[in-house]
Structures are given as C-alpha cells and as structure tokens.
C-alpha cells in the first residue's frame, strides 16, 4: 500500500489546475447504462457457474446462466450494514430488484462512481423525500441522481486516496480481530475452572505447573 502523505495535497493542486470554476454535476443516467436484475430470488443455488447477486452480500449465491459479462456496479439498497454499491467484473446475474450500472463513458471512472454513490446516494433519497422503506430503488431515481464529475485525472486521484484508506481499514480490522481472538483465548484459559483450581491447589501447597 502506498503511504498516505499528509504533508502534500496533490488533489488540491489538480482541482486548482483542472476545475478553477468548480465541478460539473451530471445525472448518473448520462454516464452509464442502468438496468434491473433478471431473475427471481428462488433461482439462487449454493453452487453454479456464475455469481448471482441478491440482497445477501455476505453469503454469495450462484446460477448456471449469466445476463452480463462486463465490469459493473451492483446496487442493492436493502439495509444490511453494507455499502449499497459494489464493484464486480466478469459473468454474473442478479435478482430482479438489484440494479446494475455498466458501460461507463470514458469521462467516468467506475471506481470513483462507486465511492461517490456510497457516500451520498442514501442522503439524496432522504433529502428528496423518496421512500427509503421500499426493498428496491426505481431505475429512474438512479438515472436522475446527480453526481460531481471532475476531470478523469481528479477522479483517479480520489480513487487512489480512498483505496489506500480502504486497505488501511481492512488491515486495522484484521489486527483488531486477531487481538480479540487472542484476548478471548487468554480470558478463557485464565478464568477456566481447571485453571482456577490449579492455582488454588498451588496456593494450598501444591506445585504450579505450566
């Protein structure tokens, strides 16, 4: 991972160079194709030739036929603690309430769009009084969602910065998980009945064995 440098601001320099008058906002439907999934949820299989995207990001599903073979963003609004927008490249299919963004124009970096969508789309729904309790997002709503589209060099720099932070976050979460497992091991060992009994015996004149 590239080190994060807090002493320089290349993004600020790029903004001043390429966007002295601000950044243009475009409707998402202007920079990519947007479609809905093709299949019912009951088509999901535990094994198959292609990934099948449903609401359940944490437990992948599969099917034997694909509707897309491309680089895409997969959007699922259901509140399962995950970002609503995910990146995927390859052959896949999707549940009918999932939304697929693909065929991005050259002025839009797909990873920049992913970060932008995850950062502000749910706020956009709430600000515009769009019913967030529905289990799906209308395709027309996504098409009309306006996002800032700076020059591609700036999009790439934003992606580079956010990728670095995402990688750092994953490393910290892995370290935290390892420390938590270590803590649980020693807690369970030191507070187990056998351990307490062994130490009690030692205090009563026995020998403490390791």
pLDDT of residue 2: 46
By DSSP bridging, strand 68-75 and strand 50-53 are unpaired
Which residue did the predictor score with more confidence, 98 or 56? 98
Question: What average pLDDT score do residues 143-160 get?
Answer: 90
For the cut 50, the answer to whether the pLDDT of residue 90 exceeds it is yes
Question: What average pLDDT score do residues 167-175 get?
Answer: 75
Name the one residue in this structure whose structure tokens are 């990728």: 163
Q: How many CB atoms lie within 10 A of CB 197?
A: 10
pLDDT of residue 20: 65
121, 92 in Cβ contact below 8 A?
no
For the cut 70, the answer to whether the pLDDT of residue 5 exceeds it is no
Question: What average pLDDT score do residues 25-44 get?
Answer: 94
Which residue did the predictor score with more confidence, 173 or 72? 72
Residue by residue, what is the 3-state secondary structure of the chain?
CCCCCCCCCHHHHHHHHHCCCCCCEEEHHHCCEEEECCECHHHCECCCCEEEECCCCCCCEEECCCCEEEEEEEECCCCCCCCCEEEEEEEEEEECCCEEEECCCCCCCHHHHHHHHHHHHHHHHHHCCCCCCCCCCCHHHHHCCEEECCCHHHHHHHHHHHHHHHHHHHHHHHHHHHHHHHHHHHHHHHCCHHHHHHHHHHHCCCCCCC
148, 27 in Cβ contact below 8 A?
no
108, 155 in Cβ contact below 8 A?
yes
């Amino acid at each position: 991972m590239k080190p994060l440098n807090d002493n320089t601001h290349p993004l600020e320099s790029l903004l001043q160079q390429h966007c002295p008058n601000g950044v243009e906002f475009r409707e998402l439907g202007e920079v990519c194709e947007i479609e809905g999934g093709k299949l019912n949820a009951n088509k999901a299989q535990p094994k198959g030739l292609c990934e099948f995207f449903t609401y359940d990001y944490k437990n992948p599903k599969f099917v034997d036929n694909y509707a897309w073979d491309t680089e895409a963003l997969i959007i699922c609004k259901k509140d399962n603690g995950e970002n609503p927008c995910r990146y995927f490249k390859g052959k896949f299919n999707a549940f009918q309430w999932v939304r697929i963004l693909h065929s991005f124009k050259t002025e839009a970096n797909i990873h920049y769009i992913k970060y932008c969508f995850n950062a502000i789309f749910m706020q956009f729904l709430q600000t515009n009084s769009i019913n967030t309790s529905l289990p799906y997002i209308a395709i027309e709503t996504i098409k009309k969602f306006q996002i800032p589209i700076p020059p591609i060099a700036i999009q790439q720099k934003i992606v580079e910065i956010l990728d670095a932070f995402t990688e750092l976050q994953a490393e910290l979460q892995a370290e935290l998980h390892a420390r938590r497992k270590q803590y649980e091991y020693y807690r369970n060992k030191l507070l187990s009945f056998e351990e307490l009994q062994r130490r009690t015996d030692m205090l009563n004149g026995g020998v403490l064995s390791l």
